[in-house]
Structures are given as structure tokens and as C-alpha cells.
Structure 1
Amino acid sequence: MMVVIDEEPYLWLLLRDEAVLYLNVFCSHSAVDYFFLMALNEEECRSFDKVGRPYLNRLAQEIHHSASAVKGSRSRFKARGLTPMLGTKVQDAWSVWLAEQERQAR
């Protein structure tokens, strides 16, 4: 089951499903907004373990600026995009996480 484990509002969500970490990045290019989801590879997981959230902030900015989901993009991340396959699972996990955050705020 996919669950949200952390977020940087308006930048990224960090999710886990089994042993896999996923980064869902909010991207905005002019009039086009989208989310770009990818699984973190071993190197990215090690960097996250070592540096923490600042590493995810930098990685998310790199993904955003590479326009990874824009037609014609040459982003090195483009082939790693999982939003079409896992977007619904991310939305479900996000809804559960938001409800829990709201419950805790009361």
C-alpha cells in the first residue's frame, strides 16, 4: 500500500510502497501544471539518507526545471515518469495523508 511519508508543500511528496521510495514533484511551466512521479534509485536513496530533505528539495527543483513531462523535453528524468501508471495510487495516499493531517490539527 502506498503511503505519504513526507512533503514539502507546493514542491514534492515523498511516498513509500513496500521498499520503494517515490518522489512526486509539482511542476509548473507557464499555463501548464502537472505532477511528475518517479521511483528513487539506489544512489538517490543514499543521498536522501545522507542529506535528508534538502537533497529532495534540490532533486525536485532539478526535475521541475528539466520540464520532464513537457512534450519534446530532453530531461534525463523523462523515461522514469510513473504518473500514468501510479497516479491513482498517489492520489489515494495523498487523500489519506491529508485527512490524517486535518485530524491531527483539531
Structure 2
Amino acid sequence: MRVIDHAPHGWFLLEEDGALFLDVNCSHSFVSYNFMLRLDAQERSAYESEGRAFINRLATAVQDSGPNSRSSRFYERNLSGTYSDEVTKTIEDWRASS
């Protein structure tokens, strides 16, 4: 896994074996948490044509949806628990080398 791009205090875009993942720092009132999803084919196509602007919009949509709520359209896509340790190490290594 490797970091492709990031917005400080907002999100990290990561890649692993050709798959793209977005790790969003969500904040709702006094609760903050990370929410990670794999970009689907449509999102990946939008990223390839629009770049960072699309990722900013997607991260905002994730944040604004309250993704840990079952009513969020992103709820079922949560991969945070699956990749938590790997993402943390990847980001730590990336920061150390930057």
C-alpha cells in the first residue's frame, strides 16, 4: 500500500495492487474517526478524469453523510477495520520519508 495524495487533516488517497482507497478523517461534533472505502469503477473513472477535485468532493460527501450511520450511502463500504493497521503504518512511513 502506498500514499498517492492527501489533504492535510482531511483525507488520504492510497493505492494497493491497482485498487484505490480513500481514507477520510470525519468529524461530527466532538467525535472524530477515519472512514475508508475502496473507489468503485465509476469513482475511479471520475478520479482519472477530474483528479484531486473529484477526491475532494467525494471526501466531503463521505464526511457529510455521517458514514458510520446506517442511513449513509457509504455505510456498507466501510473498510476501516480491515485496513486500519496497514493504513496507519503506510501513513507513518510516508510521513517519515517526506
Common fold, TM-score beyond 0.5? Answer: yes
> 2:7 matched to 1:8?
yes
- Pair member with larger Rg: 1
* Gap runs ≥5 in structure 2: none
- 1:21 corresponds to which residue? 20
> Where in structure 1 do 4 or more consecutive aligned residues deviate above 6 Å?
none
Q: Displacement, 1:17?
A: 0.7
Structure 1 residue matching 2:32: 3-state secondary structure: strand
Calculate the aligned-residue CA RMSD, in Å. Answer: 0.8
Matches of 1:62 and 1:3 in 2, distance apart?
23
Percent of aligned pairs with the same amino acid: 36
Task: Name the amino acid aligned to 1:74.
Answer: S
Q: Displacement, 1:5?
A: 1.2
What is the correspondence of 1:14-53 to structure 2 with a 5 Å cutoff?
A: 14-53=13-52
Matches of 1:96 and 1:5 in 2, distance apart?
13
What is the correspondence of 1:75-90 to structure 2 with a 5 Å cutoff?
A: 75-90=72-87
Q: Displacement, 1:39?
A: 0.3
Q: TM-score, normalised by structure 1?
A: 0.90
- 1:104 corresponds to which residue? none
Aligned length: 98
Structure 2 residue matching 1:69: 3-state secondary structure: coil
